[in-house]
Amino acid sequence: MSAKILFHGVSVFDVIENQKRRLRDKVQRMPATELDDSELPNRLADEFGIEVPILNEEAKYARQRETQVDVSRDPTRRAFFGHGPRSMPGTEISIFIPFTGDPEVFKVRPTAFDSNPPIGDVVGNELCFTYSFVDNINLTEHDRTIDKVKRYLEWLRPSEVQLRADLVTAAQNLIVQRKRQTEDHARVLGSLGIPIRDEKPPEGAAATASPVPVKSSKRYKARKVRDADWDIFICHATEDKNDIARPLANTLVTKGLSVWYDEFSLKLGDSLRESIDRGLSRSKFGVVILSPRFFEKHWPQKELNGLTTREADGNTVILPVWHNVGFEEVRQYSPTLADRFAVNTSEGLDKVVQKIVEAMS
């Protein structure tokens, strides 16, 4: 059994985005009849959340066996044996510590980490640490390793809590979207006045005649369906995500709007530039959150430039939202933006959402 570096694999940020994507995919595939369960958001959060392990140190145990120990790196013995590999009889001790939680989390790199992560093995639901000794047995190194493992686990716990909250919110919003979509489809079909039949006819019923095949032509050949367009693209600085961008995106979704927002629309492996370009070009409006942080950042300003080019034909695309800024700050950044009617987040989130919806209509 070869010891490995723990907490040294995929970033917790990538894990979080992947779990959110998996939740979105599952909700989109669920039958509409399953969406009315009030406990569904919590169950989905349980399914796609991460469970940071908890060590059960009281149940730890050890195993030992005789082995050959390489002492070539021991400076106290080099004078006797010289350089090169040299083995001596010794004892190998393996200490096992049971834990509860997801073993895969030991491969995840937390948001905070150092340059010297712990080394050990994950065997089922136990951590294993192996040490070899020739003379006196000293487990000081083991104590330091366990302290380091605990520290890394504590660094991961805030991400566990935040991910669960985000999953519950995302599930609630997605369920609302699915229900509204189902209702819209039913309303459209109802307005057609055409009876809807089940996919499989009742047993004993006469089979419906198969339609006569029609020769295809290039003109009428079915084209590949594009990804759905968005109603709104949200342009913001990362530092404004918690204060306004995420709450705004979630609230707009509950209003039945489709929103391009990085946490909703970017999937693991996506090209950031291509995804943003697609969002910029295929969203009806762009909500631009102007803030002190926005004015300092290069990337949000490039997104704003992209939205500006779409107004060349005279259509209004940009909907400004002022966050912790006033007229003078916006004017210094862009006189043309300062001249636009904007809504200020100091009026409250509900007012911001109301003004955006009014502007779109």
The residues annotated with a catalytic role in the active site are: 303
Inter-residue contact 260 to 232 (CB < 8 Å): yes
Give the separation between CA 126 and CA 131, rounded to whole angstroms.
16
Rounded to 10 degrees, the C-alpha dihedral 157/10/126/160 comes to 20
Residue with tokens 């055409």: 194
Packing angle, helices 298-309 and 272-281, rounded to 10:
40
DSSP-assigned letters across all residues of 235-297 = E--GGGIIIIIHHHHHHHHHTT--EE-HHHH--TT--HHHHHHHHHHSEEEEEEEE-HHHHH-
Inter-residue contact 59 to 167 (CB < 8 Å): no
Give the separation between CA 329 and CA 274, rounded to whole angstroms.
31
Give the separation between CA 330 and CA 107, rounded to whole angstroms.
45
Q: Which residues, other chains included, contact 52 with Cβ-Cβ below 8 Å and sequence gap of 6+? A: 101, 102, 105, 153, 156, 157, 160
